[in-house]
Amino acid sequence: MPTTLADRIALTGGRSSGFDYLRIGLALAVACSHVISTTYGKAVMDAVYLTWWRIPLNAILPMFFALSGFLVAGSLERCARLTSFLGLRVIRIVPALAVEVLISALVLGPLLTVSPLADYFTAAQFRAYFLNILGEIHFLLPGLFGTLPYPHIVNQQLWTIPYELQCYAEISLLALIGMRRWPVIAIVTPIGTTLIYALGHILEKGLFAPTELTEAPGYFFVWAFLWGVALFVYRDRMRWSASWCAAAAVIGFGSLAIGGLASYLMPAALAYVTVMLGLSNLRRVRFLEHADCSYGIYLYHWVVMQTVMMLAPRIWWVNLAISLPVTVALAMASWYLIEKRALALRHPIMAADRGAPSWASRGVTVFLAVAVVVAVVFRFLPG
């Protein structure tokens, strides 16, 4: 019988090193891609996206989201209730994000701002910046980075956070609908929403109008996440196949090269490639056994690069040579001091959820159902 994804998961004991390498590799790829923006500005980065470099650059975040979908679906399956699942998501995302926001606003901002400190601390921008912790993204702090090639922006990378929260809303809704009982929901959802969005675009702009990834990047991320979920749900039926992976890579990267309506093939194809790479289980280096610095790299790299551009020559390799080691050091500190300690809360979260009375669980579930439906309706539908 052909080897399935489930067979590979069992072979690796559910801890394939491929996902560890992917997390670090994709996080570093995101950071390296932002070197051009922070060193030379948005216009130069836009010009880069007109070259063949747009193909690998546009694949990074969809692969990140597909990886997240596959792993988060596994977390959902291990949770007895949706409340514990969402609790685990909170302790994974919020503590490290909150610390990064606080450091940017309360330490870096006062040190680097050109505004008087009294004006800095009383400005509306300063107060609004803390809403980043809740997923309402604000990029500006008073008097910061105004003379840089990519001016004013403190944490550009945070623009993906709302889509990550949208993904959690999506998978929660699927769980509430009954994905465990009817796994076909996991397949129907990405197919159906993709067709709805594509049809809406065709009706609005015509069949042959270009449909570039940059027009609605967040939706492609959500679709990649949902395909990652679907691959996990159907892991006992999906083949582990090098030839399938090669074909999916051709389709995924080819659709990015072609653009237009072909772009809608990308999330499913790259999700399969991502899961195949994740389950490759290469020999694990000791560093990866003890630390997951990918989230910290994502959180800190932009603000570090902007700071370096205030102090160093504006040359891309100088920016990279200084900012990358600093970013990795901050990411390691984030893991050991914040993230790892926050994740220790998963044990009481799981225990408390198992011991919650049924009426409380039902009440929380009803509340979550309403909140999730509202989030999906207002954030995912086209237009």
Give the tens place of pLDDT for each residue, 52-94. 898 999 999 999 999 999 999 999 998 888 888 988 999 999 9
Residue 107 lies in a domain: yes
Residue 282 lies in a domain: yes
Would 234 be classed as within a structural domain?
yes
- Least confident interval from 71-85, 100-114, 314-328, 367-381: 367-381
Question: In the prediction, which pLDDT does 217 show?
Answer: 67
Handedness of CA 302, 60, 68, 132 (dihedral sign): positive
Range of the domain at 61: 5-378
Residue among 297, 288, 306 nearest 333 (CA): 297
Domain-embedded: residue 37: yes
At 17, the amino acid letter reads: S
- 57 within domain boundaries: yes
Q: What are phi and psi of 236, to 5 degrees?
A: -80, -5
pTM of the model: 0.90
Give the pLDDT of residue 381.
46
Number of folded domains in the chain? 1
Contact of 308 with 323, CB cutoff 8 Å = yes
How far CA 109 is from CA of 41, 115, 156, 338, 374, in Å, comes to 21, 10, 15, 21, 35
Model confidence over 61-72: pLDDT tens digits?
A: 999 999 999 999
Q: 342 and 91 in contact (C-beta within 8 Å)? A: yes
For residues 200-216, average pLDDT:
62
Examine residue 28 and state whether it is found in any structural domain, yes or no: yes
Is 383 part of any domain? Answer: no
Answer yes or no: is pLDDT of 365 > 70. Answer: no
Domain-embedded: residue 193: yes
Could you tell me which residues are beta bridge partners of residue 239? 4
Q: Are 332 and 296 in contact (CB under 8 A)?
A: yes
Question: CA-CA distance, 342 to 88, in Å (whole number)?
Answer: 10
Tell me 282's DSSP state: P
Residue partners of 73: CB distance under 8 A and separation at least 6: 171, 228, 229, 232, 233
Neighbouring residues of 248: CB distance < 8 A, sequence distance ≥ 6: 269, 270, 272, 273, 276
Q: What is the mean pLDDT of residues 339-366?
A: 70
